[in-house]
């Protein structure tokens, strides 16, 4: 199988679907001529032209509002918010309009749009360009929330998001854009349905439930524990909303010990939802330790790169957390 980057996988998903469906349009800041702040849309402006790949003014509210309106009138827009931190500016249109319109109009309106935006720290972009704000959007009924951790998942999940008739917030991991992974040939089209978690590593002793950039980090920790004879299962949630609860519960019943890891601040983070999903099920009777959460520190992401690396779950922190469960 060929190997491509996470960014390329996203580009392919958009381009392939846009070739099939001319109602798909793409808009955002510097996505056209410039090819996107992280180069994700490189070549798309040239291929699809400025009718379908639109550079917009610097107004996330306008871009998101346009997309929601266009979606209700028949287009299937993709919006790129340059940094997920700017979702604050798009939130009115996203949370109060796009998420609610289907319900508001009694099912007579649909909002088939995808809001793509990179989240996460690690680039030295400091506090307003490094946050992980998935919990904000997970809390809004009507929005689906996807965070892929590999090029393969990114392509398959983005296609599913584009084909979905509801607004989907597709949070990419800016630190993963350059990461590579195996993805089928272009001819071998595939879709990964939303709402299906993926067991990235099977194990029987401890379950790590995670998503995004922390999947790879957890897998590395798992490999190190394997040499000690501790068999860790790593579940990549992939779709936060809708959540594959069954996968989490079954794994917790198997191992009896669960660690939830995410980069976002721990307080009010989605890890609370993941943990309580397990505790609030028959898996409770199989738990052999308190379900442990490991999130980022409750501080703004520091500009200093050394500090920045320390505020999110590191391999050392994940390792220590696993040891507490054993």
Partner 1 sequence: MAEAIIMPKTGMAMEEGVIIEWFKSVGDKIEKGDILAEIETDKSTMELEADEEGTLLSLVYEAGTTVAVTLPIAWIGEEGEEIPQAAAPAAKATGEVADSEVKIETQEVIPAVISSDLRSTPAAKRVAAERNISLESVKPSGQFGEIRERDVLALPSVTATPLAARIAAEQGTDLSTINGSGHNGKIFSGDLPQKTMTPMTTVAEDTRVPLTKIQQITGKRLLESTQQIPSVTSNMKADVTELLNLRKQINSSIETKITINDFVLMAVARALKDVPRMNSTLDGDALIYKGSINLGMAVATPKGLIVPVIPQADMMSLTNLSNKAKALAVAGREGRLQPDDLYGATFSISNIGMFGVSSFSPIINPPEAGILGVCAIEATPKFVAGELVERQIMGLSLTYDHRVVDGAESSVFLKTIRDYLEAPLTLLV
Q: Which residues are catalytic?
A: 129
Taking the least distance from each CB to partner 1, the nearer of 299 and 326 is 326
What is the nearest approach in angstroms of partner 1 to the Cβ of residue 228? 16
Taking the least distance from each CB to partner 1, the nearer of 144 and 292 is 292
| Alpha-carbon gap, residue 162 to 14, rounded angstroms | 8
Rounded (10°) CA dihedral 67, 73, 77, 79:
10
What is the nearest approach in angstroms of partner 1 to the Cβ of residue 248? 16
3-state SS, residue 145: strand
Alpha helices in 21-147 (DSSP H): 44-52, 60-72, 87-91, 101-104, 134-138
* Size of interface with partner 1, in residues (CB under 8 A): 8
What is the nearest approach in angstroms of partner 1 to the Cβ of residue 221? 19
DSSP assignment, residue 54?
E
Could you give the C-alpha distances from 232 to 166, 173, 197, 244, 305, in angstroms and in order? Answer: 35, 24, 16, 19, 30
**Residue linked to tokens 């330790």:** 289
CB 146 within 8 A of CB 115: no
What is the nearest approach in angstroms of partner 1 to the Cβ of residue 20? 50
What is the nearest approach in angstroms of partner 1 to the Cβ of residue 289? 6
What is the nearest approach in angstroms of partner 1 to the Cβ of residue 293? 16
DSSP of 67-94: HHHHHHTT-EEEEE-SSGGGHHHHHIII
Structure tokens at 15: 């381009």
Taking the least distance from each CB to partner 1, the nearer of 52 and 292 is 292
DSSP of 262-313: EEEESTT-HHHHHHHHHHTSGGGGG-SS--EEEEE-SSPPPSSHHHHHHHS-
| Alpha-carbon gap, residue 41 to 31, rounded angstroms | 6
What is the nearest approach in angstroms of partner 1 to the Cβ of residue 255? 10
What is the radius of gyration, based on Cα positions, of the chain?
A: 19
Taking the least distance from each CB to partner 1, the nearer of 91 and 289 is 289
CB 308 within 8 A of CB 263: no
| Alpha-carbon gap, residue 92 to 95, rounded angstroms | 6
Site string for partner 1, 247-276 (x = CB under 8 A): ---------x--------------------
CB 167 within 8 A of CB 99: yes
Site string for partner 1, 278-317 (x = CB under 8 A): ------xxxxxx----------------------------
- Point out which residues bind partner 1 (CB under 8 A): 256, 284-289, 324
């Amino acid at each position: 199988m060929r190997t491509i980057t996470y960014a390329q996988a996203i580009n392919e998903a958009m381009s392939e679907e846009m070739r099939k469906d001319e109602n798909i349009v793409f808009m955002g800041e510097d996505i056209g001529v410039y090819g996107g702040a992280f180069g994700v849309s490189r070549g798309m402006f040239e291929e699809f032209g400025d009718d379908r790949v639109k550079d917009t003014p610097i107004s996330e509210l306008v871009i998101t509002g346009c997309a929601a309106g266009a979606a209700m009138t028949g287009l299937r827009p993709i919006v790129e918010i340059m940094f997920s931190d700017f979702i604050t500016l798009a939130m009115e249109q996203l949370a109060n309009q796009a998420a609610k319109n289907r319900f508001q109009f009694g099912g007579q309106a649909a909002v088939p749009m995808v809001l793509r935006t990179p989240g996460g720290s690690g680039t030295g972009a400091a506090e307003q360009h490094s946050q992980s704000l998935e919990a904000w959007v997970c809390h809004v009924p009507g929005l689906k929330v996807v965070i892929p951790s590999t090029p393969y998942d990114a392509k398959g999940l983005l296609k599913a998001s584009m084909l979905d008739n509801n607004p989907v917030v597709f949070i990419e991991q800016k630190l993963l854009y350059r990461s590579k992974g195996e993805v089928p040939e272009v001819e071998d089209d595939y879709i990964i349905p939303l709402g299906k978690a993926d067991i990235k590593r099977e194990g029987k002793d401890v379950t790590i439930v995670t998503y995004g950039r922390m999947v790879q980090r957890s897998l590395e920790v798992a490999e190190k524990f394997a040499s000690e004879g501790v068999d860790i299962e790593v579940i990549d949630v992939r779709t936060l909303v809708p959540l594959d609860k069954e996968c989490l519960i079954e794994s917790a019943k198997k191992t009896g010990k669960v660690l939830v890891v995410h980069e976002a601040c721990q307080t009010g983070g989605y890890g609370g939802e993941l943990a309580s999903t397990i505790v609030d099920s028959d898996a409770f009777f199989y738990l052999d330790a308190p379900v442990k959460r490991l999130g980022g520190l409750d501080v703004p992401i520091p500009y200093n790169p050394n500090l920045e690396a320390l505020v999110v779950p590191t391999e050392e922190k994940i390792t220590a957390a696993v040891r507490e469960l054993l």
